[in-house]
């Protein structure tokens, strides 16, 4: 083959190891640009990268790393989630007990649970920011409409994964947050109560709900998000990479900057970002323990009973009107986001944040997001017993 290494194969154990490595990685360590391109294209994992990227796409502010870090977090969640699944038992009589055993007895159990918890919260937060970033740079416009829709669905899946995982510890926090969430579902006109039964398998949170949430959290939704995210990443490449590349600034001499190979420039940045993500996650998880409250007790309602933080904006709105705040606004938001690229079709100002040409769209979107952030903050920090307004640091 043309790719046969120049050095003849070594003998002995080193040679054997070398042969095994080469059987998987056939192109050798790339020493020039050509070899780097070949390496990318040959690799199943790496060939989602474009072989060459524009230098502007490598800058941090081009993406803030939000999508990539979300992907890393998804990986961390999968790994820790599998470990937790070995010890977790999805039955009300055993679930809380298994949480205690994970925390107190299982080697690295508490650390694993902390990583899983904090990575999940971070992922909800970062995926949302990723969506904001893409919107502000116009990344949802042709030819990326479909990928935007897939992204919105992946965002919803992320929320659903987080929500279903919220119930599993079977503590007071879990039980009542999910009860509140399920009550919001019940506010859907007409079929609301039936939807709640469909979700919980019962009129209230109990054994069927725990099993349902477990299966959704560990099997169904991971498969869904795996499919969506794979497609999402694939389409980023097929749609021409980052939207910034089309409007990269010209160099002083008037030429476009030369494209650089993704190996090593993009890959190195990804490695560094992965490292930083892991380090931050590990540091937080080593020193901040995931919350665990007393065992779920249907007879003791905490006051106020709050949904998970990312639904507190909706709960706050539902406080004013169960239907308009709790059903209409979230549904309109998701549907509106999906429909957005098919109506907002201007092409001016793409690739820049908050460009003058798109001031209206960006302002409206930002206002919506700020509004949601504000009601979420109010619901989180300013609502006490009886949903009374005040200063309630959790």
Partner 1 sequence: MSETPTRTPFWLDATFAGSAVALVILLGVAMAREWARPPLIAQRIVPALGVVDRCEHCHSEDTHPGEMLTHHPPERFGCTPCHGGQGWALTARDAHEARPDWERPLFTLAEREAACGRCHLSGPVPGAPRLEVGRRLLDTLGCRACHALPGAGETPPGLPLDGLSLKVEPAWVRWFLTAPENPDGPAPRHRMPRFDLEPDAVEDLVAYLLRPAAPLAAAPEGDAERGRTAVATRRCATCHRIEGRGGDFAPSLDLAGAKMRPEWLVAFLRAPHAIRPGIDMPEFGLDEREAADIAAYIAEQLVSDTGETPWSKAIAVDGDPARRAEAGRAVFARSGCRGCHVTADVPLDRPGAPLAQIAGRTAAERPPAADGEDPPDVPAFVARKVASPRVFDPPGGPAGVMPQFRTTPDEAVAIGIAVAALGGRSVPVEYRRDTAPRPFAPPPGVIADLFERKRCLSCHRIGGTGGDLSRIPLDGVGARLDRTWLARFLEAPTTVRLDQPERMPVLGLSPEEAARLAEYLSLTLDAAWSAEPVPVGDATRGEALYGRHGCATCHVHRGQGALGGPGLDDAPRRLRPVYLSTLLRAPERVPNGRHAAVRLSAGDAADVAAFLSTATAPATVVPATAATGVPSAD
Query: Residues interacting with partner 1, by CB under 8 A?
Result: 55-56, 58-59, 97, 100-101, 104-105, 107-108, 111, 171, 249, 251, 257-258, 260-261, 264-265, 268-269, 271-272, 275-276, 278-279, 282-283, 286, 291-294, 300
Helices 145-167 and 221-238, axial angle in degrees (round to 10): 160
- Which lies closer to partner 1 via its Cβ, residue 158 or residue 380? 380
- Which lies closer to partner 1 via its Cβ, residue 42 or residue 301? 301
What does the block give as tokens for 47? 């060939």
Minimum CB distance to partner 1, residue 382 (Å): 21
- Which lies closer to partner 1 via its Cβ, residue 267 or residue 334? 267
CA–CA distance, 131 with 148 (Å, rounded to integer): 9
- Which lies closer to partner 1 via its Cβ, residue 189 or residue 386? 386
3-state class (DSSP) for residue 52: strand
Which of 4, 11, 2, 148 has the alpha carbon at shortest distance from 67? Answer: 148
Minimum CB distance to partner 1, residue 184 (Å): 26
Minimum CB distance to partner 1, residue 249 (Å): 7
Contact criterion met (CB below 8 Å) for 218 and 212: no
Minimum CB distance to partner 1, residue 324 (Å): 34
Our CA angle for 348, 352, 356, nearest 5°, is: 55
CA distances to 165, 169, 391 from 290, in Å: 13, 11, 23
**Which residues does 190 contact at the CB level (< 8 Å), separation at least 6?**
none
> Residue length, the chain?
394
- Which lies closer to partner 1 via its Cβ, residue 183 or residue 277? 277
Minimum CB distance to partner 1, residue 207 (Å): 17
CA–CA distance, 360 with 229 (Å, rounded to integer): 30
Minimum CB distance to partner 1, residue 216 (Å): 25
- Which lies closer to partner 1 via its Cβ, residue 17 or residue 276? 276
């Amino acid at each position: 083959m043309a790719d046969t290494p120049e050095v003849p194969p070594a003998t002995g154990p080193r040679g054997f190891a070398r042969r095994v490595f080469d059987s998987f990685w056939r192109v050798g360590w790339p020493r020039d640009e050509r070899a780097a391109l070949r390496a990318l294209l040959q690799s199943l994992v790496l060939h989602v990268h474009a072989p060459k990227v524009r230098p502007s796409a490598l800058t941090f502010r081009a993406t803030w790393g939000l999508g990539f870090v979300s992907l890393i977090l998804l990986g961390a969640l999968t790994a820790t989630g599998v470990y937790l699944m070995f010890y977790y038992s999805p039955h009300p009589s055993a679930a809380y007990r298994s949480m205690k055993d994970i925390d107190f007895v299982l080697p690295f159990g508490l650390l694993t649970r902390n990583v899983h918890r904090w990575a999940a919260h971070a992922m909800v937060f970062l995926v949302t920011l990723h969506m904001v970033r893409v919107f502000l740079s116009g990344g949802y416009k042709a030819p990326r409409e479909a990928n935007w829709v897939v992204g919105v669905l992946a965002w919803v899946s992320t929320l659903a994964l987080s929500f279903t995982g919220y119930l599993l510890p079977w503590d007071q926090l879990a039980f009542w947050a999910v009860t509140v969430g399920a009550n919001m579902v019940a506010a859907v006109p007409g079929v609301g109560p039936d939807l709640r039964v469909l979700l919980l398998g019962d009129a209230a949170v109990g054994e069927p709900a725990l099993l349902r949430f477990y299966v959704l959290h560990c099997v169904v939704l991971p498969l869904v998000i795996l499919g969506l995210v794979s497609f999402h990443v694939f389409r980023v490449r097929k749609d021409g990479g980052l939207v910034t590349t089309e409007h990269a600034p010209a160099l002083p001499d008037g030429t476009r900057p030369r494209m650089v190979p993704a190996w090593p420039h993009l890959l190195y940045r990804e490695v560094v970002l992965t490292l930083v993500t892991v380090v931050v996650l590990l540091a937080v998880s080593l020193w901040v323990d995931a919350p665990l409250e007393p065992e779920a007790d249907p007879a003791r309602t905490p006051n106020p009973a709050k949904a998970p933080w990312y639904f507190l904006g909706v709960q706050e709105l539902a406080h004013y009107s169960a239907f308009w705040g709790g059903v209409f606004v979230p549904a309109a938001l998701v549907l509106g986001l999906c429909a957005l690229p098919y109506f907002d079709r201007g092409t001016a100002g793409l690739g820049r944040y908050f460009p003058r040409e798109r001031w209206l769209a960006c302002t409206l979107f930002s206002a919506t997001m700020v509004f949601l952030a504000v009601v979420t903050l109010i619901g989180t920090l300013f609502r006490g017993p009886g949903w009374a307004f005040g200063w309630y640091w959790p």
